[in-house]
């Protein structure tokens, strides 16, 4: 089956197979903009906004149309605060929502905004989590804010904290007893 807009090969998504990946994604972008009560661009405007060679205009990563293994690099409709629109990767779109104005565009390489203290810090100040497939991602809060947040939780939830410690110590005991045999 072919896309009814451009004639490229259509994909089958949710029982429908009348659009290619790009136009299927454009349709999603239009519905999301309407739901969010933002300006809804036409297919023609979206076509003009697609960056050459599908690289994000903000971070230069190669974007994809349909979410898959590289979800953070999925193409998203971006409404900039100056009134213009563009297509950026999901990662840059998320940063845009967290930072004042369009300041995420001036964020230096190797720096990140802490979700706790709202200060831009080097990536070394953030702990990382395993994202699977050998990838790691920095946490949203810097190490200082994460430690402070945990300390507050520990004070507010002494019973849960004690229960978690007991459970952890039991697992360690079982592991140590099993390895000495």
For the domain covering 1-105, report its CATH number: 3.30.40.220
Q: What is the pLDDT of residue 180?
A: 53
Domain ranges of the chain: 1-105, 108-181
Measure the CA–CA gap between 117 and 141, rounded to whole angstroms: 8
At 122, list the tokens. 């080097």
Q: What is the pLDDT of residue 155?
A: 95
Q: What is the pLDDT of residue 70?
A: 63
Q: What is the pLDDT of residue 59?
A: 74
Q: Which residues of the chain have pLDDT under 50?
A: 181
Q: What is the pLDDT of residue 57?
A: 74
Q: What is the pLDDT of residue 156?
A: 96
Q: Which tens digits make up the pLDDT trace of 107-144?
A: 777 888 888 888 889 989 999 888 677 777 788 899 99
Q: What is the pLDDT of residue 76?
A: 86
| Helix, strand, coil fractions of the chain, as percent rounded to 5 | 45, 20, 35
Q: What is the pLDDT of residue 15?
A: 67
Q: What is the pLDDT of residue 64?
A: 83
Calculate the CA dihedral of residues 163, 169, 175, 179 and round it to 10 degrees.
-170
Buried b (16+ CB within 10 A) or exposed e, 86-115: bbbbbbbbebbeebeeeebeebeeeebbbe
């Amino acid at each position: 089956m072919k896309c009814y807009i451009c004639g490229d090969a259509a994909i089958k998504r949710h029982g429908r197979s009348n659009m290619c990946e790009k136009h299927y994604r454009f349709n999603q972008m239009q519905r999301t903009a309407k739901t969010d009560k933002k300006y809804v661009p036409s297919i023609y405007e979206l076509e003009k906004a697609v960056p050459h060679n599908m690289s994000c205009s903000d971070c230069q990563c190669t974007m994809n149309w349909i979410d898959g293994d590289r979800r953070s690099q999925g193409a998203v409709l971006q409404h900039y605060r100056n009134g213009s629109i563009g297509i950026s990767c999901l990662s840059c779109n998320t940063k845009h929502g967290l930072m004042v104005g369009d300041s995420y565009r001036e964020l230096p390489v190797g720096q990140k905004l802490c979700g706790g203290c709202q200060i831009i810090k080097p990536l070394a100040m953030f702990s990382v989590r395993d994202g699977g497939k050998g990838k790691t991602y920095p946490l949203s809060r810097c190490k200082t804010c994460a430690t402070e947040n945990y300390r507050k939780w520990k004070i507010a939830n002494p019973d849960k904290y004690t229960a978690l410690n007991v459970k952890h110590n039991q697992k360690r005991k079982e592991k140590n007893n099993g390895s000495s045999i």
